[in-house]
Amino acid sequence: MKKYQILNLLILIAVIFTGCSDKWKKEFEIEPDPPIADFSYTIMQLTPGEVIFFNHSLHATKYLWKFGDGNTSTVANPTHVYKEKGTYTVSLTAINDVGFQVVNDNVTIDF
């Protein structure tokens, strides 16, 4: 190895073992991708009004479900039981440190 390659290697090793300055850390930080909200669902036939929701969101760390009947959940893959027939607009909000995205779909409950 040439002298300048050895010197660069030693500097790199020193930075790794002693830590970088905050300026360098910010320069090399990778910001997470924004969340992408997505879900599907299955209406259970044996339990009237029961719906299982499947979360297919990407890059999210938190979730907020609104089931369209006044009930909510923060569980990633919730199950919800509707008490009355009807069409409900369900929304999933996928959240991370970058921001959030909301997606909606209609669920029709027909006992």
Kindly report, residue by residue over 7-40, the tens digit of the pLDDT: 777 776 766 666 655 665 566 677 889 999 999 9
Q: Is the pTM of this model over 0.85?
A: no
Q: Which amino acid is at 61?
A: T
What does the alpha-carbon distance between residue 94 and residue 5 come to, in Å, rounded to a whole number?
Answer: 46
pLDDT at residue 21, rounded to an integer:
59
Q: How far apart are CA 2 and CA 99, in angstroms?
A: 47
Q: In this predicted model, what pLDDT tens digit does every residue of 34-54 receive, in sequence order? A: 999 999 999 999 999 999 999
Q: Pick 39 or 5 by higher pLDDT.
A: 39
Residue spans per domain, the chain: 1-30, 39-109
Average pLDDT, the chain: 89
User: What pLDDT is attached to residue 5?
Assistant: 75
May I ask the CATH architecture of the domain 39-109?
Sandwich (2.60)
Question: Which value, in Å, is the radius of gyration of the alpha carbons in the chain?
Answer: 24
